[in-house]
Amino acid sequence: MTQANELGAPAWTGEHTVLTGSCSWTDKTLVEDADWYPKRTMSAEERLRYYSGQSPLTEIDSTYYAPPAEQQAALWTERTPDGFRFDVKAYSLLTGHPTRPRSLWRDLREGLDPEVAEKRNVYAKHLDPEAMDEAWRRFEAALRPMHEAGKLGAVLFQYPPWFGPRRENRAEIEALRERLPDYGISVEFRSPRWLESERDRERTLGMLSDLGLVFVSVDAPEISGLLRLMAVTNPDLFMVRFHGRSDGTWKDTSRSAAERFRYLYSAEELKELAPSIAEHAAEARETHLLMNNCYRDYSVRNAAQLRDLLAHDPD
């Protein structure tokens, strides 16, 4: 077996570790349209090994569109060096997003009512409770190899804009710890209402803190209405996801994800954010800074820039 590269450099090590990375190492525009990888003919294994030698952290986005297989999670784990971290995006079915029926496990898909199976998208409400319990169990089991190797950072639950601060939604969040008791769990809200007022912010952050869940801070376009709020709700992990600042493409779902988040942060913009990041990173054992502007090499370039900024001037 080919040995994994040495781990890409973190920004900080020691009592507080700070890792930077991209939300994708496989985006088509990065692989085919940029010169970041040494060769465009690299295999999937070679790309991950190269990526992990440049950066100690990534996010797996493909698990949102289709649940992972345990064998695939084991391969990702084997192809990366010790100390590498994967944050894994939760399957769309588990976060209230529309889900393509064909992405379901075959037996669960075959258990759908015929008229539901013909729909373009299905939701959790279309599966019976036993089937949903099984979906959660299989998702948890698939990530077990990564967790046992110490490489699973957190499972990211990114909730849609229509998932507001209602009683039933709070109950859904409260159930996460029971669903995935062994894993780190992070929560990103796309509805601004969770943080709309000071009272809302206190209630939301307090809920996550009481549950031991990680609040995902975001840097996003102004049109999103999302507050740029940094907070640590679990001393084990502080997380920030950077979505770029392109107002014109934020809501354009007809574009690819790379096109929607096509934005290259300037050195000045990153430098402006660095002091607040450093302040909160000092409150957590580990910090994950994830660039979601995955157009060409934008995210990997900005991740390296932010790493160097924090490494040279952590204060």
Q: What is the CATH number of the domain that holds 232?
A: 3.20.20.410
Q: How many domains does the chain have?
A: 1
- φ, ψ of residue 123 to 5 degrees: the values are -130, 170
Residue 2 covered by a domain: no
CA distance 285 to 215: 15
SS3 breakdown of the chain: % helix, strand, coil, rounded to 5? Answer: 45, 15, 40
- DSSP state at residue 196: S
Residue 7 covered by a domain: no
Contact call for residues 155 and 188 (beta carbons, < 8 A): no
The candidate with the shortest Cα–Cα distance to 22, out of 8, 5, 6, 12, is 8
- DSSP state at residue 122: B
Tell me the pLDDT of the chain (315 aa) as tens digits. 344 579 999 999 999 999 999 999 999 999 999 999 999 899 999 999 999 999 999 999 999 999 999 999 999 999 999 999 999 999 999 999 999 999 999 999 999 999 988 999 999 999 999 999 999 999 999 999 999 999 999 999 999 999 999 999 999 999 999 999 999 999 999 999 999 999 999 999 999 999 999 999 999 999 999 999 999 999 999 999 999 999 988 888 878 888 889 999 999 999 999 999 999 999 999 999 999 999 999 999 999 999 999 997 544
Range of the domain at 186: 17-312
Residue 9 covered by a domain: no
Residue 298 covered by a domain: yes
Residue 8 covered by a domain: no
**Predicted TM-score (pTM) of this structure:** 0.95
- DSSP state at residue 22: E
